[in-house]
């Protein structure tokens, strides 16, 4: 059953029933009947409507580390919901079935979301799976309902949002994970249909105001050049400080954008450079669906290989970092979390 779309906010009216959505930097100009780039906002007779208000395509209770958030209530579980649509058009999207197409939904009111978020030992609600900020009206209503029940709100986002709606959401959010897909505007333009600067603006704005962790999916030969990663690390260090946790995620060639090569070797090299430069947490996640079976033996092999590699590259100076890494790995195992993770804290 589809709920009736709710009138959206964050838009300007123009003559002849046209509107301009002001929710994200695309600022889509929509004539009557037009649908925004995200697919989730439609102009109906001069009124912008939020098509996914009160609708979800999926819900599950996940470890909070799966968002990924490693320094926000570690070891907790969180009720996670998502709908469909996205304002970015990444050709490497791992969730394109729901991000780039309308998908079957079930209605879920903000009160129901909040109630579920406080059940089964969950600490609250994570808004994830597709881009949650394109349903800002629903997101804010859900966050308020969750907060009323004493729960936490976690937003997993691409950070492509305008300042005014973000400022309205901020008081109700407890943690963000923002995807910084590359430190390269050309990459954003060609591969995501967007721009880098608004994402950096969001990250810089949120820094220090709320718990934030960052994620970058490393795609061989696309965004993994060492100088580019060093520039990203420098930017993070300068704009957010050296303590913001960063997650580097390994790309898998089987995913929509086919890339060859041994991503493991390239990935380790990138991770070592990144962690040395910015001095923050770096995690590796094997997040291909086929690998989510949590192959513990593979994790141990990977962990051993990574430690040997790091010993060779970093020498004795890395000893402290490696000991910390082992403690973090132990932490992950103890909490029954994704064993494909190697976690380093500087």
Instruction: Work out whether 178 is an interface residue with ligand SF4 (CB under 6 A).
Output: no
Choosing from 26, 66, 67, 277, the residue that interacts with ligand SF4 (CB under 6 A) is 26
Nearest approach, Cβ of 37 to ligand SF4 (angstroms)? 4
Nearest approach, Cβ of 195 to ligand SF4 (angstroms)? 12
Choosing from 49, 52, 80, 87, the residue that interacts with ligand SF4 (CB under 6 A) is 87
Whether 24 and 194 have beta carbons less than 8 Å apart is answered as no
**Which of 33, 35, 38, 41 has the alpha carbon at shortest distance from 16?**
33
Per the omega criterion (within 30 degrees of 0), is the bond before 68 cis?
yes
Instruction: Work out whether 200 is an interface residue with ligand SF4 (CB under 6 A).
Output: no
**Which of 303, 305, 313, 310 has the alpha carbon at shortest distance from 338?**
303
Span interacting with ligand SF4, options 31-39, 69-77, 118-126, 330-338, rule CB under 6 A: 31-39
Nearest approach, Cβ of 22 to ligand SF4 (angstroms)? 7
Nearest approach, Cβ of 87 to ligand SF4 (angstroms)? 4
Number of residues that bind ligand SF4 (CB under 6 A): 12
Rg value, the chain, Cα: 20
Instruction: Work out whether 38 is an interface residue with ligand SF4 (CB under 6 A).
Output: yes
Whether 81 and 129 have beta carbons less than 8 Å apart is answered as yes
Of 53 and 79, nearer to ligand SF4 (C-beta) is 53
Span interacting with ligand SF4, options 35-43, 149-157, 180-188, 301-309, rule CB under 6 A: 35-43
Span interacting with ligand SF4, options 19-27, 121-129, 181-189, 227-235, rule CB under 6 A: 19-27
For the chain, the 3-state helix, strand and coil shares in percent, each to the nearest 5, are 40, 20, 40
Q: What is the DSSP secondary-structure string of 117-150?
A: HTSTTEEEEEE-SS-GGGGHHHHHHHHHHHHHTT
**Which of 144, 148, 151 has the alpha carbon at shortest distance from 172?**
144
- DSSP H or E run through 62: strand 58-63
Binding stretches for ligand SF4 (CB under 6 A):
21, 23-24, 26-28, 36-38, 41, 87, 134
């Amino acid at each position: 059953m589809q709920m009736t779309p709710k009138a959206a906010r964050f838009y300007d009216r123009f003559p002849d029933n046209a509107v301009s959505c002001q929710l994200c930097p695309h600022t889509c100009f929509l004539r009557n009947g037009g649908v925004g780039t995200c697919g989730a906002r439609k102009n109906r007779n001069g009124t912008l409507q939020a098509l996914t208000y009160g609708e979800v395509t999926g819900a599950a209770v996940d470890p909070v580390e799966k968002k990924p958030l490693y320094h926000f209530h570690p070891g907790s579980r969180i009720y996670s919901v998502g709908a469909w649509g996205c304002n970015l058009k990444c050709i490497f999207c791992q969730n394109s079935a729901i991000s780039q197409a309308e998908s079957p939904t079930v209605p879920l009111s903000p009160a129901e979301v909040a109630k579920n978020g406080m059940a089964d030992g969950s600490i609250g609600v994570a808004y994830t799976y597709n881009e949650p900020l394109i349903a800002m009206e629903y997101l804010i209503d859900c966050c308020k309902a969750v907060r009323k029940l004493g729960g936490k709100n976690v937003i997993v986002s691409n950070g492509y949002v305008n300042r005014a709606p973000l400022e309205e959401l901020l008081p109700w959010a407890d943690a963000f994970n923002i995807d910084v897909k590359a430190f390269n505007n050309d990459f954003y333009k060609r591969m995501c249909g967007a721009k880098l600067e608004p994402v950096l603006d969001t990250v810089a704005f949120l820094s220090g105001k709320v718990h934030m962790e960052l994620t970058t999916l490393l795609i061989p030969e696309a965004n993994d050049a060492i100088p580019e990663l060093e520039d990203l690390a420098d930017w993070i260090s300068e704009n957010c400080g050296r303590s913001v946790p960063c997650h580097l995620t390994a790309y898998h060639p089987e995913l929509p954008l086919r890339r060859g090569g041994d991503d493991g070797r390239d990935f380790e090299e990138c991770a070592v450079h990144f962690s040395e430069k910015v001095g923050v947490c770096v995690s590796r996640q094997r997040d291909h669906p086929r690998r989510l079976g949590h192959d513990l033996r593979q994790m141990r092999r990977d962990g051993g290989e990574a430690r040997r590699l790091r010993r060779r590259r970093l020498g004795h100076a890395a000893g402290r970092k490696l000991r910390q890494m082992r403690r973090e790995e132990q932490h992950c195992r103890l909490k029954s979390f994704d064993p494909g993770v190697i976690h380093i804290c500087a």
